[in-house]
A and B are shown apart, each in its own frame.
Chain A
Amino acid sequence: MLILLRKIRLRHQSQIDQNDVEYQAERLRVGSGQGQDLQLFGDEVGRAHCTLEPSSEGGLRVRCHGQHQVTVADQDVAQVDLPANEWLRIGPHQLARIEAPPGFDLAIEVRIDSTATESVKERLGDALSLRMPRIRMLSYALLAAVLILGFALPLSSTFSEGWRNTLSRVGAPTNRHWATGELSRAHRMPAIAENCSACHEKPFRRVRNQACLSCHTGMSHHTDDPDLLALTGLDEQRCASCHIEHESPRRALIAEHVGLCVDCHARPERFAAMTELAPVRDFERAHPEFRPQVFDRDGTLQRIAQSETPRTYSGLIFPHDVHLDADVVHGPDGAGAALTCAGCHEPERDRVGFRPLSFERHCRGCHDLDAVLGDAVVELPHGDLDAARSLLEQAAADMPAPDVEAPARRRPGFEAPRGEQDQVEAVVDRVIGVQVCARCHEVTRTPGEVASLSAPRWPQRRFSRALFSHASHQWTSCESCHNVSDSADASELLMPDIADCRSCHTGANARTGVASTCVDCHQFHRGHTATFGAVPMPDHPLMSAGD
């Protein structure tokens, strides 16, 4: 529909100019706002005031928007069908449908009061009011998001595993997001990592020891004496008192700090059960000296402080200095190099301790057990004194008596004179007590008895209360801890003392040196019988008795 709009501008009722505008539209929009087809100003003109369109009777249909009105014959109306050539007023302006020139479907004449302008406030309208986000709505929305994502969804995931997996798959939060930190590596198996109730059995109840022990069935306590546990209050400690979970994936579950031990061990006098123990605060500054296990001459195993220069009696005569002296010892074949430490002290496969010493493997190459009795050479068995003795007695009985002159001609029917019983014992005693056995073994000789010896004794571990592993020290030389090359006496205890250890190992909080905690050497869980249901403490033999 082609519309002709004839604008006549008036000023103080007199015409200024006239302006014809063509529109191709179905209706005309009138108002003071931008984007109106006919823009009229004035306080009474709304931004979108009304629309104009031809009526079926050849007039003009006017429909006002909202509360706006137009004035027709001094009547304010919101909607009107205006006959042709009838005038209506919009604010100070007038308009009417006029006869359309040829080619136009509708013609409207509008007399515009050019002095009417829009007030600034009206024009700027709500641009002057502050555009603030709706704080209340934002608050509710944010709160709802927090409660749904942080609480409702994770809570719902605790009821059904399927639903939990669904939530996980779509990246929605689950009860995993309630964890205060990541699980330690030791507990990352699906049965635990994806099942919070494996440890947190009931909501709002602390994790019970039983939850730990359902998997860790072989766990022992600090001692197997329930009274001792009660006396020290250890029976009231929870697993989680020391082993803190959900701390950090990098942090082991094992609590390593001295504090856990020295809480009690710094002042053992406070506990009736610990009065014999020396106080410990820190390896570097306050740690009792070592008390290695030694056998005394009677074969009794004792722990003696190193300041008392303990001697250990294994029953062997073994001067380390001679055996390590390249000028003296030339190896098993007599042409090779001197002995090395590892030639006798063979590390176990785990390199923690050493394989047992063996005569066959370690001594036989140089030391034979041949007893020379007159013309005869008797090779004695090792490790069986009774067998050796009877072999010797037999050989000694066959040996001609040294003080009997052999007759020039032996008469038939007469046996050659043989050693008497006293003489046999003297020979056996000499072989065992001087010539062969006593070269390596200490021989005991009680009055009126023959020479005797016993199997060598070494404690399984020198340090019974600490775990020492040669594996972690294998790249240092043996001599750096064991000063053996000057040792002429096998009873010398060639163990390093605490000062030697401290030359590398420092306190747990030290900034230099190898900061060492209690559990680097000691075990907490060391009970031997069931408090929790226990396993024996593993032994790592440094040396064990020879075979």
Chain B
Amino acid sequence: MYVNILRYRHGRYLWWALALVAVCVGLYMSQDVALPRGGSSWQGYVLGSVAALLVLWLAWMGIRKRSYQASRGTLQGWVSAHIYLGLALPPVALMHSAFQFGLNVHTLTLLLLLGVVLSGVYGLYAYLRLPPAMVENRDNQSFDERLAELDRLDKLGLELAADCDESVQALVSSAIERSAIGGGLLDQLLARDRSQVLLPADDGVRPLAGNPGQRRVIDFLVAKLPDTSKPGEAERLRALLAVSSRRGELLQRLRRELALQSRLRIWLAFHVPLTVALLGALAVHVLTVFFYW
């Protein structure tokens, strides 16, 4: 049965995380007010150690999730713990730092840590919100089914256009040819429509125009409809209109599918490298603190 990861075992790890933060707040407040609060009191050392162990444990998650033979605990439980204890990390680390910031490796470590957690928060949001959006976008049609339909429409469009006059023929084939889905990383993430079309022209130089949502083609066909002369051309144009509209929708859904998949994974491109950098910075932080003890 599907259980929201946040409600795993009635939010067991939420309470663990809250307890951990509460204990750490107590430790932080118990620092001798005689001396400035910081990482160098014994409470500061304890808070730092807790934060460092949390970082290591949370980073180990990256290994744990790949070890399918591991038997201790369900992966779901691990992810739930990873989320809640990961969210507990910034307060613990901030209390360890006693909210002192500077241009140094220590604050760098803290910033990397906050970056990791923020990207993780986005990842959580993505995992909770994007799969339903994908289901909705698919509309009971798989990616391959959708591509097959597009293929069929392309061929139909070309066939219909072949029986129309030169300008329609050139326009439709160019529109199909230059229908774009992806592009670069940003195009995918934002589902940008970079489709183009070569417009018909009298002097032979056909201008290239943007064709988002196949609107250019549709507009052209609509404009063409009233002055048809050949028998049956109006019907062909209407059929082409239907094909173009459907193509526009299919392409848009494909783009959104790619965008959602991309957004579902892009956070890992921050979460993982930042984690690796954090582990390095954490080692430097600990080493340098004792280098200049």
Q: A142-B276, A145-B277, A147-B284 are in contact. Are A247 and B290 (CB under 8 A)?
A: no
Interface residues contributed by chain B, number (CB under 8 Å): 58
Residues of A117-175 contacting chain B, CB below 8 A: 117-121, 123-124, 126-133, 135, 138-143, 145-147, 150-151, 154, 173, 175
Q: Do A259 and B177 contact each other (CB < 8 Å), given the known contacts A16-B162, A200-B292?
A: no
Also in contact, A139 and B188, with CB within 8 A (given A117-B154, A130-B265) = no
Decide if B105 touches A150 in the complex (CB within 8 Å): yes
A204 touches B289 (CB 8 A): no
A179, A196, A247: the one within 8 Å of B104 (CB): A179
| Alpha-carbon distance between A350 and B276 when the two chains are bound, in angstroms | 60
Given contact pairs A117-B154, A132-B266, A247 touches B38 in the complex (Cβ within 8 A): yes
What total count of A-B pairs have CB within 8 Å?
156
CB-CB nearest in chain B for A206: B293
As a 0/1 sequence over residues 89 to 127 of chain A, the CB contacts with chain B under 8 angstroms (1 = contact) are: 000000000000000000000000010011111011011
- Whether A132 and B280, one on each chain, are in contact in the complex, defined by CB atoms closer than 8 angstroms, is no
Interface 1/0s, chain A 463-474, versus B by CB < 8 A?
000000000000
User: Quick check: A181 and B100 within 8 Å, CB to CB?
Assistant: yes
| A151-B291 Cα distance, complex, nearest whole Å | 11
Q: Mark interface residues in B26-44 (1 if CB within 8 Å of A CB, else 0).
A: 0000001111101110000
> Chain B residues near A126 (CB, 8 Å)?
182
B-chain residues with CB within 8 Å of residue A242 when the two chains form the complex:
35
**Is the C-beta of B151 less than 8 angstroms from some C-beta in chain A?**
yes
Specify which chain A residues have a CB less than 8 angstroms from the CB of B191 in the assembled complex.
none
Q: Is A476 an interface residue (CB 8 A)?
A: no
Residue on B nearest A173 in the bound complex, by CB: B105
* Pair A177/B184 contact, Cβ less than 8 Å: no
B269 to chain A, nearest CB (A): 4
Known: A132-B262, A143-B277, A257-B34. A178 touches B181 (CB 8 A): no
B178 interface contact, C-beta 8 A: yes
Contact A131 B184 (CB under 8 A): yes
Residues of A within 8 A of B158 (CB): 117
A interface footprint on B112-137 (CB within 8 Å = 1, 0 otherwise): 10000000000000000000000000
Contact A178 B162, CB 8 Å, known A128-B258, A203-B291: no
Evaluate contact between A205 and B293: CB separation under 8 angstroms.
yes
- Which residue in B32, B105, B151, B182 is a CB contact (below 8 Å) of A128? B182
Is the C-beta of B17 less than 8 angstroms from some C-beta in chain A?
A: no
Chain A residue with the shortest CB-CB distance to B34: A259
Query: Within the complex, which residue of B40, B112, B155 is in contact with A117, where a contact is CB–CB below 8 Å?
Result: B155
A residues contacting B by CB (< 8 A) are: 11, 16, 34, 39, 114, 117-121, 123-124, 126-133, 135, 138-143, 145-147, 150-151, 154, 173, 175-182, 196, 200, 203-207, 242, 244, 247-248, 251, 255, 257-260, 263, 509
